Structure 1
C-alpha cells in the first residue's frame, strides 16, 4: 500500500522511500506544520434522511476511538516517544494524514465520532470516547487500548481515514491478527472482532454507497494486521475503520462532506448494532 509521512520519520522523510506500509495508528500528515482547522463542505451541514438505528442498545458499552488528536501537531516530541505494543515498540501516536486542502484526519475522526456517539446514545448505549480533543495530545496507542479494556466494552471502533496514493479509493476495516507476545494476547478477541468488522463493512457500504478499498483487502473491505498497538493490546472486540483515502481527490470530496459523514456514522452505528444484537 502506498505510504504517507509519519512524525517518527526523522531518518526517512517519505515512508514510501522506506518500503513499508505505515500502520493506521502511525500515519502522519503530508505537512510538517499544523494545518488549518476542519473544513467541512459548506453546503452539507445537515443530516441526510436516514432511518434510525434499529432496536435498543441499553446496557451496552461502546468505546469510540477517534484516530489522532488535533494537538498532536504541536507535540511531535511527545508523540514520537515509543510505547510497548507487545510485539515491539512503536510511536505513542502520530499526527494523521490530511486532504490536499488541509482538512485533517484528526478533525474528520472527531466529527464522525461525535455523530456516531449521538446515534448510539439515542439507542440507549453507554458511549465512551478515548479523547475529545480535551488533552494536549494523544492518548498514546497503548492507553487507547486500556480505555476500552478498562470499560469492559462490548465493542470498540477506532475511526480513521487513510493517507494512500491518489487513485486508491474506498474503505477498509482492519481486524486483529492472532498475536501472543509480551503484553499482547489477541486470541480471545480475534473471532468476535472479525464478526464486528464484517458487520461494519456491510452496513458502511450500504449507508455511504462507497465500495471496499481497491488497493487493500482484495476487494473484501477487510485487512488483518498484527502490527497495531491499539489492536494487539485490546482484550475486548475492536476494529479500525479506514473510512476512505484522504489523498485521493474523489474520496476527499466525500470525506469533507458533512452529509456523507453522517451517512458514515449511520453505517458504523448499524454495523455495531447488528453485531451486538447477534
Structure 2
C-alpha cells in the first residue's frame, strides 16, 4: 500500500458573492460550526460528496464535513490553458441536468454543452480501464465559468458558478483534489477509452433545486450532489500551476496543513 503525506488546509480566497443557505453555512448538517459550508449528506443515497472523494482518493470519509479542509470558497470563475478533460463522477439527479461552460462572464449567454443529461443514478464508473468515468474534452484558454441547466419537472432553470447570475444563492461547491495530479484516470470520451493524467484536479458538486423549493430556509435539499464531476481547470483565484508534491503548493499559500494518508486506488488509478 502506497502512502503519501499531503498537507491540506482551509482554503479561502475571497468572500462568496452570494451566500449558502443557513443550514449549510452554519453547519446544521455537521453540528460543529467552523465557517466552512457543509452540504447535507445521507439524505438520498450514494453518492454524496464524501463518497465521491472516497472513490477518487481511497479515503475513508464518513460525512461531507470531512471535506472542509479541501473547500475552495472563491470558485465562481475558472481558467483554461488549452485542451483538458473533465470526468462525470456521479449524479443523483442527472436525468434532467446538462453541464456546460460559458465565456461571457457576468452574462452567461455564450454557452457550450459538455455533459448532457444522463438517466443513470450513482457513480458513472470507477476510473479503471474496465469501468471508465464518462468524460468530455474541450479546448479553452482564459477565464470561463460553469453552468448547470436543470430541465426536469421542477421548472426549467439554469444555475451558474457566478453567483450573481443565480437566484441569490450559491449552487456550486468546489473541493481541491491535488493527490490526483499526475495520476492516471480512464475516461470514456465519445465511446473511446482515454488514459488521462489530471494536472489541476478539483471535484465540483451542484445543488439543482431553488431556494425554498422543498422547505423554507433550505436551498433545494442542500446536498450539492446532483451532479458531481472532476475537472482539470483551476479556479481563477488560485496560482497558475500546482507544483509537485501537492503539499508544496498548499504550504506556499501560507496555509496550516494537516497530514492525511492516501492509499493507492487499486484498479482505479495507477502511478
Q: Which bracket does the TM-score occupy, shorter chain normalised? A: under 0.3
- Whose helix fraction is larger, Structure 1's or Structure 2's? 1
Q: Normalising by structure 1, what TM-score? A: 0.27
